[in-house]
């Protein structure tokens, strides 16, 4: 009986703590996966397609959408980038407060020149990011992103298996969401509006 009572008190204290947290800061109802408080995916050090070194701090004050892909991807990458482009159009003037970043997982082929042609073709505000093989591996590890080369018929015709989702950061540079690919722009637009409404 004492054990049952003690367990009941623990459950009650947890519920009360949860209620206090909810009262202090109402939980946002995201359409995508809420990653608030995630202990990894904190930063990166790469170069953008204009040749400028970049970290997450460069985009403070904007909501950031970070996608890992490669320019020769036949399906997931162009689909995701097109969805992000559609989301930016739906956001209208608010799109100025959103920065989309495309991180290549294929630094061997995705040169600065190629990224500068591919990424802005979806939206001129989008930035392509690249690094050395070592820098790419470090960012992949920090964000727990899987990517691997799949051999083709010739050495240069390989493809890349990779994680097909985007990370979303709030204006303070804190990780907030994992956005799934292939769901259309509506869920992303919904969630970006929630994050943009926060100070």
* Residues 138-170: tens digit of each pLDDT: 999 999 999 999 998 988 889 999 988 899 999
Assign 129 a pLDDT band (cuts: 50, 70, 90).
very high
pLDDT mean over 105-128 = 97
Report the number of distinct structural domains present in the chain.
1
Mean pLDDT of the region 7-30? 50
Q: Three-state DSSP class for 53?
A: strand
78 located within any domain: yes
Quote the CA–CA distance of 199 and 97 in Å, as a whole number.
12
Q: Does residue 129 sit within a domain?
A: yes
Query: In this structure, is residue 33 part of a structural domain?
Result: yes
**From its phi and psi, is residue 111 left (phi > 0), alpha (psi between -120 and 50) or beta?**
beta
Boundaries of domain holding 104: 29-195
- Give the residue with greater pLDDT, 157 vs 82: 82
Structure tokens at 63: 């909501």
Mark the binding-site residues, compressed into ranges. 73, 77, 162
What is the reported pLDDT for 198? 87
DSSP assignment string, 5-23 = HHHHHHHHHHHHHHHHHHH
Mean pLDDT of 64-85: 95
pLDDT of residue 136: 96
pLDDT given at position 199: 65
Spatial neighbors of 129 by CB under 8 A, at least 6 apart, are: 44, 46, 47, 48, 49, 54, 101, 102, 103, 104, 115
pLDDT higher than 50, residue 192 = yes
CA distance 123 to 119: 7
Contact 186, 57 (CB under 8 A): no
Which pLDDT does position 106 carry in this prediction? 96
* pLDDT of 89 above 60: yes
Which residues make up each annotated binding site for Cu cation? Answer: 73, 77, 162
The answer to whether residue 80 sits within a structural domain is yes
Buried b (16+ CB within 10 A) or exposed e, 89-103: ebbeeebeebbbbbb
Instruction: With H, G, I as helix, E, B as strand and everything else as coil, classify residue 61.
Output: coil
Report yes or no on 6 lying in a domain: no
What per-residue confidence (pLDDT) applies to 27?
74
Note the pLDDT tens digit of each residue in 43-73. 999 999 999 999 999 999 999 999 999 999 9
The CATH number of whichever domain residue 131 belongs to comes to: 3.40.30.10
Q: Is residue 9 over pLDDT 90?
A: no
Does residue 115 sit within a domain?
yes
**What does the mean pLDDT of the chain come to?**
88
Cα–Cα distance for residue pair 41/56, rounded to 1 Å = 10
119-135 mean pLDDT: 98
Q: Is the dihedral of CA 18, 143, 61, 86 positive or negative?
A: negative
Q: Does residue 89 lie in a domain region?
A: yes
44: in domain? yes
């Amino acid at each position: 009986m004492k054990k049952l009572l003690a367990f009941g008190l623990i459950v009650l204290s947890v519920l009360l703590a949860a209620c206090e947290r909810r009262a202090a800061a109402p939980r946002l109802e995201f359409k995508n996966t809420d990653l608030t408080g995630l202990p990894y995916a904190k930063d990166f050090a790469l170069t953008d397609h204009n040749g400028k070194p970049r970290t997450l701090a460069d985009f403070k004050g904007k909501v950031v959408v970070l996608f890992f892909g490669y320019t020769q991807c036949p399906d997931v990458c162009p689909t995701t980038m097109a969805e992000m482009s559609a989301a930016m159009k739906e956001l209208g003037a608010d799109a100025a407060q959103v920065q989309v970043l495309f991180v290549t997982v294929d630094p061997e082929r995705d040169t600065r020149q190629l990224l500068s042609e591919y990424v802005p073709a979806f939206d001129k505000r989008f930035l392509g990011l690249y690094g050395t093989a070592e820098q790419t591996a470090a960012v992949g590890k920090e964000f727990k992103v899987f990517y691997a080369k799949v051999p083709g018929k010739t050495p240069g015709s390989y493809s890349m298996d990779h994680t097909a989702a985007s990370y979303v950061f709030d204006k303070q540079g804190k990780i907030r969401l994992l956005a799934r690919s292939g769901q259309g722009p509506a869920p992303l637009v919904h969630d970006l509006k929630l994050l943009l409404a926060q100070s």
